[in-house]
Amino acid sequence: MKKFMMTVLLGAALSAQPILAQPKTYQVDGTHSRVGFSVTHLQLSEVEGRFGEYEGTIKWDAEKPAKSKIEFTVKADSVDTDNDRRDGHLKSPDFFDTAKYPTLTFETTSVEPLSGDKYALTGDLTMHGVTKRVTLPATIRGPVDAMGNGKMSLGFSTSFKVNRIDYGVGAGWKGGSDKVVGHDVFVSIKGEAHQSQ
């Protein structure tokens, strides 16, 4: 009887321990997201574009965001600047060389909480076969059950500048000059991600 009571008490003690929340996995929703960019042209104006095909996975730990993980992949040949001739040139070996380097990727190595819904995402950005460690500012909101169906969702956004020459994109075209196409490319990524079933 004494042994039985000890077993019951031990079981009760264990059941009383807090259950640590596990990170949840969210998939980027392409319908409600956008990957855009802008770059100067002839040092006079801005050309805007976007990538139409991409996917991302966010393993988000709401209790301990620093333990979270984010991966994002963009298909280079989905570049779209509303001009077929220009898009073809961007896909060529002069710039992205999409036949040889079909994707652009970002994978976090750390997620640093700042204040509120602001974070610093440090990770590896790979483009045109070159990988560099970068830190990106990000806003991540949620998770929330916005639809009331028990499926949680996140909102995310980041804006940052990247020097295309650092990644060899267009480094040989026109001698790498910025007089036609600027070196600095301003990138904006924002949207939603929904919990995987």
- Please check whether residue 14 lies inside any domain of the structure: no
For range 124-136, the mean pLDDT: 98
The mean pLDDT of the chain is: 90
What tens digit of pLDDT does each residue of 30-63 get?
A: 999 999 999 999 999 999 999 999 999 999 999 9
User: Whole-angstrom Cα distance, residue 72 to residue 3?
Assistant: 54
Distance separating alpha carbons of residues 110 and 122, to the nearest angstrom: 5
Name the nearest CA neighbour of 193 among 21, 70, 34, 58. Answer: 58
Q: What is the CATH number of the domain that holds 92?
A: 2.40.128.110
Per the domain annotation, does 189 fall within a domain?
yes
**Measured between alpha carbons, how far is 89 from 23 in angstroms, rounded to an integer?**
42
Question: Sign of the C-alpha dihedral, residues 177, 179, 181, 183?
Answer: positive
Q: Read off the tokens for 79.
A: 């570049």
CB 33 within 8 A of CB 153: no
Is there a domain that residue 7 lies in?
A: no
Residue 67 lies in a domain: yes
Domain that holds residue 54: 21-195
pLDDT at 16 over 70: no
Q: Phi first, then psi: give them for residue 196, nearest 5 degrees.
A: -70, 145
**What is the C-alpha to C-alpha distance for residues 60 and 68, in angstroms, rounded to an integer?**
5
CA 136 to chain centre: 9
Task: State the burial class of residue 25 (Cβ atoms within 10 Å of its Cβ: 0-12, 13-18, 19+).
Answer: middle
Number of domains in the chain: 1
Is pLDDT at 115 greater than 90 in this prediction? Answer: yes
Q: For residue 133, is it within any domain?
A: yes
Between 15 and 117, whose confidence is greater? 117
Within a domain: 73: yes
User: What digits encode the pLDDT tens for the residues 101-114?
Assistant: 999 999 999 999 99
What's the rounded mean pLDDT across residues 125-139?
98
Residue 5 counted as domain residue: no
Q: List residues bridging with 72 in a β-sheet.
A: 56, 106
Q: For the residues of 184-197, what is the DSSP string, one character each?
A: EEEEEEEEEEEE--
Q: Is residue 52 part of a domain?
A: yes
Give the model's pLDDT for residue 82: 97
Q: At residue 145, does pLDDT exceed 60?
A: yes
AA identity, residue 11: G
